Structures are given as structure tokens and as C-alpha cells.
Amino acid sequence: MEVELALHPATTRVMVFAWPDRSIAWEMAEWLRIFPPDNCYSVCRKDVVAARNWAMRELVLKAPARIQDFVFVDRDMRPGPRTLPFLAAEGDLVGCAYPTGRPDTWASPTVVHAGLLRFNRKVVEALKDKAPWWQVTYSPDGCEFGCECGSFQKKVEAAGLAVARAGWCGHREKE
Ligand SMILES: [Zn+2]
């Protein structure tokens, strides 16, 4: 299958959130072969929200200028052929749907979550002074929880950048 990707693997940095032991599944290893090995980083830090913020500070903001796109993927994701549209879709922040065990997760066509997402230099430029980039939220009465992805997406949208979602990815034990 010949698909035109929206990014160049050679100028894309991939961060795999690999707590607690850096191990990844065969499906992930296969998918990562799209990218040069030197562009793939394992982020093995406890607390995924802090890990995502650390990755922003150390691996995204400090990336050399030749790196144009960034991919975040959690170690329990299981990318496959149906994930390819995620790399082909236009957008500044692009997510990919995956099973979460909750029926309303993907109700909005543009909502994204950090199990698998990508963003470009425009996002980095707009958000460079906006730490913490990833932050869980609660409703005013404290009864409703919002995952860290919502705060990131809101910052991107507030900057006037395009958010999209495409493709499908497996997710261990949630299918
Ligand atoms: Zn989320």
C-alpha cells in the first residue's frame, strides 16, 4: 500500500513512553521501523503526565532544527496497518483513535489523546513558554476528571492551530 505521509520519517522524532522497563511489543517495534532508529527515544519515567512534560522540555524544545515533527506513543499501544492514516493526515496536532474502554472518548471528531499523537514545529513554537504543557484537570466541584491531553489540546487550539484525528491503533487489554 502506497500512502503519502504528511511527515518525513527522517525529520520526525518519536518518543515512546516506556515506564517501567522500556520493553515494547513486537507490533510497536515493527511500526517504529518507519523511523530511523536514531530518531526514536524511550522515555522511561514514572508518572506519565510528568514524563510527557519532561519529554516536551528535554526532547521536543531541545530538538535540533532539522526535526520538524514529533510523535508521542505509549508503550501499551499496538500500532498496525490501520494506524497509517494517522501519519498521512493534515494537521498541526494529529491524534489517532484507540480503544479506551469508555464509549464517549472519541465522541468529538477532533478530540485527541496522548496514547498516540503527533505535532509539528508550529505547535512547539506556540507552546514553548506554556509549561506545564500536560496537566490533569478536575471540574470545579472536583467530581469530574480530565486527562492531561485536554490541557495540551486546548493550548494548541488557543494558538489557532489545526487539530485533527485519523487512523486506528490497538491498545493492550482494552480491545
Ligand atoms: Zn487523554
- Please give the distance, rounded to the nearest whole angstrom, from the Cα atom of residue 134 to the centre of ligand 1: 10
Distance, CA of 112 to chain centre = 8
**pTM for this prediction:** 0.96
- Please give the distance, rounded to the nearest whole angstrom, from the Cα atom of residue 111 to the centre of ligand 1: 9
ω before 20 within 30° of 0 (cis)? yes
Nearest to 163 by CA among 102, 107, 89, 69: 89
- Please give the distance, rounded to the nearest whole angstrom, from the Cα atom of residue 103 to the centre of ligand 1: 14
Q: Distance between CA atoms of 94 and 114, rounded to whole angstroms?
A: 10
Q: Please, which residues have CB less than 5 A from ligand 1, an ion?
A: 113, 147, 149
> 18 and 44 in contact (C-beta within 8 Å)?
yes
- Please give the distance, rounded to the nearest whole angstrom, from the Cα atom of residue 66 to the centre of ligand 1: 29
Judged against a pLDDT cut of 80, whether residue 1 lies above it is answered with no
Question: What is the 3-state composition of the chain as percent helix, strand, coil, each rounded to the nearest 5?
Answer: 30, 25, 45
**What confidence tier does 174 reach under pLDDT thresholds 50, 70, 90?**
confident
The domains located in the chain, with CATH, are: 9-171 (3.90.550.60)
